[in-house]
Amino acid sequence: MNLFSNAEMEDASREKIIHFDLPDADVILYEDLFTKKEAETLQKNLIEKIQWRQDKIKMFGKLLDQPRLTAFYGDANKPYSYSGIMMAPVDWNEDLLFIKNRIEKFVNIRFTSVLLNYYRDGKDSMGWHADDEKELGQNPIIGSVSFGETRNFQMRHKTQKEIKKVDIPLSNGSFLLMKGATQHFWQHQIPKTSRELSSRINLTFRVIL
């Protein structure tokens, strides 16, 4: 797959690594896993080529549009239950395989599936949740890639309310890895903001057992 030259690939290996020192969690941020040029091209390709869906959520007894667009891609034999619906994955495309290959080489993990989120502006968001569906196994491994506008990824401990909420800005081309017991003890969200923001694509790669 030759989306980018070798020089660009080498450029992408100068990432900055931050290990978060949080109780009951294993969270690592790799900044600049993708170069700005790669990130820009990939974001554009994904916006154009992914089969985006506008799913609904039930709130206060009413069916409303989810505040973002989503998609689910991956290995054909790995369906996923999402809001009580079994979702069959769409087959990997070239851009997704390029991204998957980069992060897999980097962390030495094989991902089976990816859930994509398209935040069109600052009003799009994702509420508090943990990625703890049972098909993700005992200790889910979640590899999260971001392209476009920096959004604030917040984490809060589920039971120890005295632990302060954590803010992790996820910038263009960054990669956040959550593993170990993180999903048991912590929730995360992308809050909406009144600031004028442009779009962001997030991909959460998962291992479905």
Interaction site with ligand AKG (CB under 6 A): 115, 117, 126, 131, 144, 153, 170, 188, 190, 202, 204
Give the number of other Cβ atoms within 10 Å of residue 154's Cβ: 15
If one asks whether residue 133 binds Mn ion (CB under 5 A), the answer comes out as no
Window contacting Mn ion (CB under 5 A); options: 100-108, 128-136, 156-164, 174-182: 128-136
Q: Where are the beta strands (DSSP E) in 32-158?
A: 56-59, 62-65, 69-74, 80-82, 85-87, 113-119, 126-129, 142-148, 151-157
Reference 153, options 187, 181, 184, 107; nearest CA is 187
What residues have CB less than 8 Å from 61, skipping those under 6 apart? none
Window contacting Mn ion (CB under 5 A); options: 23-31, 97-105, 125-133, 172-180: 125-133
Nearest approach in angstroms of CB 2 to ligand AKG is 28
Between CA 194 and CA 192 the distance in angstroms is 7
Q: Which does 33 bind (CB under 5 to 8 A by kind): Mn ion, ligand AKG, none?
A: none
Contact 81, 133 (CB under 8 A): yes
Number of residues that bind Mn ion (CB under 5 A): 1
Closer by beta carbon to Mn ion, 93 or else 154: 154
Three-state DSSP state, 56: strand
Q: Which does 190 bind (CB under 5 to 8 A by kind): Mn ion, ligand AKG, none?
A: ligand AKG
- Counted residue by residue, the chain has a size of 209
- Give the residue, chosen from 8, 15, 31, 131, that forms a contact with Mn ion under the rule CB under 5 A: 131
Q: Which does 144 bind (CB under 5 to 8 A by kind): ligand AKG, Mn ion, none?
A: ligand AKG
